[in-house]
Amino acid sequence: MAFDPDYLSDNSSSTSSNDLRRERRRQEDKRRMSYRRAIEDYRESQSLQATFCDFPELLGQTDHHRSQPRY
């Protein structure tokens, strides 16, 4: 079997393009997951806010205890 340099360059070219595609997909997945985490964090903070709004007497309780003088 004879050495065919065109076959070698075509193969490395396709490997290179596969690597580029894989890297692009990985970057898109990272961006997508970051966006998803931001949405989840926002929903969680909204849920906590709604929970504390149901009990307004608890909102200032920790600040009140800190402002009291300690003897």
**pLDDT tens, position by position, 30-68:** 999 999 999 999 999 999 888 877 776 666 665 555 555
Polymer length in residues for the chain: 71
| Prediction pTM value | 0.51
Three-state secondary structure call for residue 3: coil
Which two structure tokens, joined as six digits, stand for 11? 């193969």
